[in-house]
Amino acid sequence: MERCLIGVGANIDPEENIAEGLLLLARRVRILAVSPFYVTAPIGRPEQPDYLNGVVVVEHGGGPAALRDDILRPVEAARGRARTADAYAARTLDLDVLLYGDRTGHEAGMTLPDPHLWERPFLAAAALAVFPGLVVPGTGRPLRELADPAAVAACRGADAFTERLREMFER
């Protein structure tokens, strides 16, 4: 079993879809930790509602493609996610493999680690909350050095929602 970092986000009924999606996910994999969630503006779509974004740490042993295709995509679909060519479309639930153990490189259409981990401050903030000393596989550098510290510090927490999720999953 390998520890994996999964990005979690939604901007269509986000509190309901994230909570219910994580309950579905927990039936398939063990959720080890839930990060703080952050309120974020939609990228390139100011007309859309804000997102809630965070990460969860899970254990999985079948490889990144199996995690994505056999577990994450069906959970998204169960919450009404319809993938389109529009990468910035509003969504009920978005689950992405950010880290899969110490794996690096390109595999089944994914880049591991996912560069969004340090390019998107809300993902870096969430990951640092669950892995404060994370050294990003393949870089030899701490995530704290790769991410913009001012942007990470400026992330606006969804504290009540985070607390609710943690009560659900961290027993």
Encode pLDDT of 34-76 as tens digits. Answer: 999 999 999 888 899 999 999 999 999 999 999 999 999 999 9
**pLDDT given at position 130:** 94
**Any idea of the CA torsion for 91, 30, 60, 68, to the nearest 10 degrees?**
-10
**Of 115, 170, 169, 167, residue with least CA distance to 146:** 115
Amino acid present at 21: G
**Any idea of the CA torsion for 138, 141, 146, 152, to the nearest 10 degrees?**
120
Q: Is the peptide bond before 113 cis (omega within 30 degrees of 0)?
A: yes
Q: For residue 38, how many C-alpha atoms fall within 13 Å in the half-sphere facing its CB? A: 23
pLDDT tens digits, 140-166: 999 999 999 999 999 999 999 999 998
- How far is 171 from 169, CA to CA, in rounded Å? 6
Residue 171 predicted with pLDDT over 70: no
Residue 107 predicted with pLDDT over 70: yes
Verdict on whether the full-model pTM lies above 0.85: yes
Token digits of residue 156: 């606006």
Q: What is the residue whose two structure tokens read 């990460």?
A: 55
Residues that are catalytic: 81, 91, 94, 96
In eight-state DSSP terms, residue 41 is P
